[in-house]
Amino acid sequence: MATQKLLLLPGDGIGVEVMAEVRRLIAFLNKSGLASFETEEDLVGGSAYDAHGKAISEDAMKRAQEADAVMFGAVGGPKWADVPYEARPEAGLLRLRKDLGLFANLRPAVCYPALADASSLKRELVEGLDIMIVRELTGGVYFGEPKEIVTLENGQKRAVDTQVYTTHEIERIARVAFDLAKVRKGLLHSSEKHNVMKSGVLWKQVVTSVHKAEYPELKLEHILADNCGMQLVRTPKQFDVIVCDNLFGDMLSDVAAMLTGSLGMLPSASLGAADARTGKRKAMYEPVHGSAPDIAGKGLANPIATLASFGMALRYSFGLSEAADRLDAAIADVLGEGLRTKDIAAPGQNAVSTSDMGGAVIKAMERAR
Ligand code: NAD
Ligand code: IPM
Ligand code: MN
């Protein structure tokens, strides 16, 4: 089995705690012969700022470029509230996404059967839920220029962020979304606000053209982003794949997380374009949640989002679908047995720690051998 190079970037807060469980899972996979990973680790976010004065070092960026895949934990926290904007922890994450060209962020929201009662919605609304949010990740208001705060002659300040999308950027994310819809239920919702935004007008036009020219057999629905947020909590099972811009994707995926029981359940894969020669894609795998300062350092974090993100790495970067299936089954088993971290526990139920949950998932994988 060829050895694969994985860069682990735990980051800050619970990023460090959940990545510890991935490390244990990798050790198990290597030991059992299911995979052969060589790992490197580096700093990102606030921890990198503390060490180097910037949110990611050039050396870490080089390692990320050279790795077969990157596993990312989470960054940020109140400790770095006053660092210069360019050096804030989140800048490390944004640079990784931009410089690695990771334009497609796949955020699956799946409600495990055992968690139907952990959702803030009624069981019947979320039972069997399986949605894929496809978030554009390297464009839009996150990266558009100008992005600045200027002081006006009258002493007032003026803050500017710029939402920009080109035909090419919309076409390529639309293709990723249609390709996913094709192997799922054949339904794509494209979400924007063409009623107020020029970028929404172009988004709708381009997605419509890609549909007509390349995927006429699939069903395409356009939905305004505010309505999409509402529909997600009204009748979430009407959706299969949702494609949207960077900012709407950020918000809609946090909303979708609660349909599954917790933000601590939502994994993601950030993928680049396939290399024309090798077919390989640059990729980073990251839970949807952040560094959770309110629970950091207490062993309360749910590691499933990060373990499942690693599962997406097994599938998308390493072709190890057997190991990925086994990991998914192990997570379902452990939840089925009633094990719960605090975020998904029923009121009054005893919750287990981050490492107990991680350990139980690995044990369940071992049992399945
Ligand atoms: P957050 O996602 O860190 O936390 C939101 C809420 O969800 C908190 O109550 C937290 O305890 C809970 N939560 C999150 N993950 C959990 C898990 N695995 N298990 C149990 N509970 C979990 O969002 P926030 O509080 O708005 O942001 C905190 C910091 O994280 C900010 O600095 C923000 O910029 C950063 N952030 C980073 C990322 C990332 O690195 N990918 C993502 C989102 C936010
Ligand atoms: C996410 C996060 C990031 C984003 C932040 C930390 C930059 O919220 O991955 O969802 O807004 O993309
Ligand atoms: Mn977010």
Helix (H) or strand (E) holding 95: helix 89-99
Helix (H) or strand (E) holding 150: strand 144-151
pLDDT digits (tens, 9 = 90+) for 160-202: 999 999 999 999 999 999 999 999 999 999 999 999 999 999 9
According to the model, what pLDDT value does residue 178 have?
98
pLDDT digits (tens, 9 = 90+) for 50-94: 999 999 999 999 999 999 999 999 999 999 999 999 999 999 999
The Cα–Cα gap between 214 and 224 comes to 23
Ligand located closest to 105 CA: 2
The Cα–Cα gap between 285 and 6 comes to 11
The Cα–Cα gap between 298 and 163 comes to 39
- 250 Cα nearest atom in ligand 2: 10
DSSP 108-119: EEE--GGGTTTS
Ligand 2 lining (C-beta closer than 6 Å): 76, 90, 93-94, 250, 288, 290
Classify 104 in phi/psi space as left (phi over 0), alpha (psi -120 to 50) or beta: beta
The Cα–Cα gap between 248 and 232 comes to 13
The 10 Å Cβ neighbour count of residue 238 is: 13
The Cα–Cα gap between 281 and 52 comes to 29
Q: Map tokens 């926290």 to a residue.
A: 77
The 10 Å Cβ neighbour count of residue 231 is: 17
CB distance 265 to ligand 1 below 6 Å: no
For 1-104+301-369, CATH number? 3.40.718.10
Determine whether 112 is an active site residue. Answer: no
Which stretch of 47-51, 73-77, 119-123, 266-270 has the lowest confidence by average pLDDT?
A: 119-123
- 75 Cα nearest atom in ligand 1: 40
pLDDT digits (tens, 9 = 90+) for 3-58: 999 999 999 999 999 999 999 999 999 999 999 999 999 999 999 999 999 999 99
Determine whether 226 is an active site residue. Answer: yes
Question: What mean pLDDT is predicted for residues 214-224?
Answer: 98
Q: Choose among 288, 256, 249, 295: nearest CA to 120.
A: 256
pLDDT at residue 96 is higher than 70: yes
Rounded to the nearest angstrom, the distance between the alpha carbon of 250 and the centre of ligand 2 is 7
By DSSP bridging, strand 4-11 and strand 37-41 are parallel
CB distance 93 to ligand 1 below 6 Å: yes
Rounded to the nearest angstrom, the distance between the alpha carbon of 147 and the centre of ligand 3 is 19
Assigned token pair, 321: 């679908």
CB 40 within 8 A of CB 5: yes
The Cα–Cα gap between 8 and 40 comes to 6
pLDDT at residue 2 is higher than 90: no
Contacts for 301 with CB less than 8 Å, ≥ 6 apart: 14, 17, 18, 264, 292, 295, 341, 354
Q: Where are the domains of the chain?
A: 1-104+301-369
User: Complex ipTM, two decimals?
Assistant: 0.99
pLDDT at residue 369 is higher than 70: no
Helix (H) or strand (E) holding 254: helix 246-259
The Cα–Cα gap between 317 and 253 comes to 22
Rounded to the nearest angstrom, the distance between the alpha carbon of 97 and the centre of ligand 3 is 14
Determine whether 130 is an active site residue. Answer: no
pLDDT band (50, 70, 90) for residue 368: confident
CA angle 229, 234, 238 (to 5 degrees): 85
pLDDT band (50, 70, 90) for residue 262: very high
pLDDT digits (tens, 9 = 90+) for 302-349: 999 999 999 999 999 999 999 999 999 999 999 999 999 999 999 999
Determine whether 285 is an active site residue. Answer: no
Using only C-alpha atoms, what is the Rg of the chain? 20
Give the chain's mean pLDDT: 97
DSSP 173-237: HHHHHHHHHHTTTSEEEEEE-TTT-HHHHHHHHHHHHHHHHH-TTSEEEEEEHHHHHHHHHH-GG
Q: How far is CA 162 from the centre of its chain?
A: 23
What pTM value is reported for the model?
Answer: 0.98
Catalytic residue among 250, 282, 333, 342: 250
Residue 296 marked as a ligand binder: yes
Amino acid at position 99, single letter: D
